[in-house]
Structure 1
Amino acid sequence: MNASSNFAGFALGLAAVFGIALAIGAAIGPDPTEPAAHDSNTHAEGPATTGGPNSEEYPAGLMATQNGYTLRLDTTQTSTAANVPLRFRILNPAGAPVTRYVRSHDKDLHLIVVRRDMVGFQHVHPTLDQAGTWSVPLDLTRAGDYRVFADFTAEGSDNLTLGADLRVAGNYDAQPLPASATTSTVGDYTVTSSGAVTPGQASSVTLSVRRDGKPVTDLQPYLGAYGHLVALRAADLGYLHVHPEGHPGDGITPAGPGITFAVTAPSAGDYRLFLDFRHEGVVRTAEFTLSVAPGPAPTSSATAPEPAHGH
């Protein structure tokens, strides 16, 4: 075979391989690894999605970097102590610390910290210095691997929740996830949960507060509402944004005993719910495990072909 024949064969093979690669790329499509942004000024009713009725939904907080913004902890490992100073920065797409934020729910930034087995939940509000460094003391008396969530809106950008890991050295006594229950006790307060949650749909969940068996009807506003709810997916600590229905002072929303939230679970499975509520000047946290059952299977409008009859 001469040189021209060899070259022609090589070019034909290269074109075939290139064509196969294009076909595979078109079939797979873009990599849906980055969820869309949402606005925490209204606390979006559901997690970000990749679009389309059958697309998989992604909770927030699974990435340290999103839309060019990065959550950067000063240290990712520390020792156990009652007041451990945590320092961190939010870096913008140019790599500079963000110093201007849009206030949401009475704060410029909400920091959620919890151990990966759902122990040691903390919802705190750090202080920001002029150089763009946030700082706050944390109760890290229990060793283990923690997840740190920063929920914020940088000026000129959309709301984001970024997550990073913090390792606390020591003997890690991992705890099993508490069983699903509709009642949680916090001191002499009892909080009861009601409402069914369907995956992929906004569902109403009402948390009712009682004290010594009597309904609490004088809850005090906390972060612009009568309650603040954080929901985390147990399998990966995906962070769900939920929001209360109504707000104090609107002339409609009662100050208890029930606080109703719109919750969207992206998938079936177990979730851990943390309700912060204020009464008599003290903020308390009630914790629940919520098991979300699979939703109904989607139905197809296409008519199935009739089976062929052999002879």
Structure 2
Amino acid sequence: MVNRMQAGVKIGGFVVGLAAMFGVAFAVGSAAAPPDSKTAAPKPTVTPTSDGMAGHGETEPAGEAEAEGEGHGDDGHGGAAEAATYVSGLAATEAGFTLVPAQTTLTRGPAVPFTFTVTGPTGKPVTEYTKSHEKDLHLIVVRRDLSGFQHVHPTRAADGSWSVDLDLRTAGSWRVFADFKPTATGETTTLGTDVTVAGDFRPVPLPAVTPKSTLEGYDVSIAGHAVAGEESTLTFTLAKNGKQLADLQPYLGAFGHLVSLRASDLAYLHTHPAEEAHAGDTGGPAIEFATTFPTPGTYRLFLDFQHAGQVHTAEFTVEVTK
């Protein structure tokens, strides 16, 4: 290299110039080089849980998110904080599956036939499901003002279509949620769509927040602090005629099923108790659920339980804090 330099250039000047060039190269290289993996903030990845709005679902109350024994928390795709940002039931299509009602306008009545299909990535009706809490598919129906809640189980025909009678005695816009696990993926999926019931719509105000729900002779109280973005434990205690119940019966493999809907947009979360329930078992008076609400705000909770051979639903309005 020295031989290529002009004879009049001094060695000392060459060294100084080389050092200056090295300094510039170092500065440019440092600016272009990727950040140190130990200090770079990872790009968050939202990982949906198998059953619901966020995080836990089954801990099955631990909650059904799953409660299908799927696992929550840290599964290698992000932590609880990331899972807590995921909500389900807001779209009719997800992961290639689509909820397709045969009709989107229905008549009013106490037993209105409703037919729908769930199509897969190929566009054909899904015909193979993996049972989740004893059923291939759970259908949740509620009016947009959060009145008229129903949790029913349609019958599937050979062609993949589903049919069930719905109690649609009041007019308005109704939200329909299909909660299922296609065998092809093994992942719990929740799809939601709206149907309209013709007639004079009279909205029902959202009931106030209260720690007790009274229905059909039963008193159900709720205790616990619901905090957004982290697992919250809610305990429901049941009594009838002033006496706590210790003989709750299994319903779909659990002593209780809890559906939570965010009032602002009806984002959906379905949870189950961690404790399984089998034929002949009895439970109560308390049912405990652990779930993760994705955001602060108002939620409507619907608790299904079975006693004396009948399924009942207790309803609560809850404020989830930051």
Question: TM-score per shorter chain, which class?
Answer: 0.7 to 0.9
- TM-aligned CA distance change 1:242 to 1:134, over 3 Å: same
Structure 1 counterpart of 2:109: 81
Match of 1:213 in 2: 242
Q: 1:127 aligns with which of 155, 160, 171?
A: 155
Separation (CA, whole Å) in 2 of partners of 1:206 and 1:91: 37
**Aligned counterparts, 1:226-265, within 5 A:** 226-249=255-278, 255-265=283-293
Q: Deviations over 1:137-158 (max 9, x none)?
A: 0010100100000000011211
Q: Secondary structure at the match of 2:200?
A: coil
Decide which of 168, 171, 177 is 2:197's aligned counterpart: 168
Over the residues paired in the alignment, what is the CA RMSD in angstroms?
Answer: 2.7
Where does residue 156 of structure 1 map in the other structure?
184
Change (3 A) 1:53 1:149: closer
1:199 corresponds to which of 202, 212, 228: 228
Q: State TM-score, norm by structure 1.
A: 0.79
Q: Secondary structure at the match of 1:236?
A: coil
CA distance in 1, matches of 2:163, 2:74: 28
Matched, 1:268 2:296: yes
Gap change, CA 1:283 and 1:47, over 3 Å in 2: farther
> Within 1, Cα distance between the matches of 2:202 and 2:89?
24
d(CA) in 2 for partners of 1:72 and 1:35? 25
Q: 1:99 aligns with which of 127, 150, 155?
A: 127
Of 287, 292, 305, 2:315 maps to 287
Is structure 2 residue 66 aligned with structure 1 residue 38? no
- 1:154-188 CA deviation, whole Å, 9 max, x = no partner? 11211100000011011110011111111000111
Q: Residues 229-248 of structure 1: CA distance to partner in whole angstroms, max 9, x if unpaired?
A: 11100000000132212122
Q: Is the 8 A contact 2:174 2:196 kept in 1?
A: yes
Q: Check whether the contact 1:47–1:58 (CA below 8 A) recurs between aligned residues.
A: no
Q: Tell me which amino acid in the other structure corresponds to 1:38.
A: S
Percent identity of equivalent pairs: 48
| Residues 1:62 and 1:289: Cα distance change in structure 2 (over 3 Å) | same
Residue pair 1:47, 1:57 contacting (<8 A) in 2 also: no
The corresponding residue for 1:189 is 218
Residues 39-77 of structure 1: per-residue CA shift (max 9 Å, x gap): 678522579999577657122100000000000000111
Partner of 2:136: 108
Aligned to 1:97, the other structure's residue is in SS state coil
After the TM superposition, list the runs of 4 or more consecutive aligned residues in structure 1 that deviate by more than 4 angstroms. Answer: 39-42, 45-56
CA distance in 2, matches of 1:111, 1:154: 15
- The count of aligned residue pairs is 264
Assess if the C-alpha contact under 8 Å between 1:47 and 1:240 holds in 2.
Answer: no
Query: Structure 2: which amino acid aligns with 1:214?
Result: K
Whichever residue aligns with residue 86 of structure 2, its letter is Y
Paired residue secondary structure (2:251): coil
Q: Answer whether contact 1:69 1:91 (CA < 8 A) is retained.
A: yes
Relative to structure 1, the CA distance from residue 73 to residue 47 in structure 2 (aligned partners, 3 Å threshold; closer, same or farther) is farther
- Counterpart CA distance in 1 for 2:254 and 2:189 is 20
Q: Return the letter of the residue paired with 1:191.
A: V
| Residue aligned with 1:241, SS | strand
Query: If you compute each CA radius of gyration, which structure gives the higher value, 1 or 2?
Result: 2
Contact map agreement 1:80 1:143 (CA 8 A) in 2: yes
In 2, the alpha carbon distance for the partners of 1:188 and 1:250 equals 25
- What whole-Å deviation, never above 9, does each CA across 1:58-112 have from its counterpart, x for those lacking one? 2210000000000000011112111110000000000000011000101000000
Question: If the length of structure 2 is used for normalisation, what is the TM-score?
Answer: 0.76
The 2-side partners of 1:234 and 1:85 are apart by 27
| Deviates further, 78-87 or 141-150 | 78-87
User: For residues 281 and 140 of structure 1, what CA distance do their matches in structure 2 show?
Assistant: 24
Say which structure, 1 or 2, has more relative contact order (CA 8 Å, 6+ apart): 2
AA at the equivalent of 1:278: Q
C-alpha distance 150-144 of structure 1, shift in aligned 2 (>3 A): same
1:250 deviates by: 11
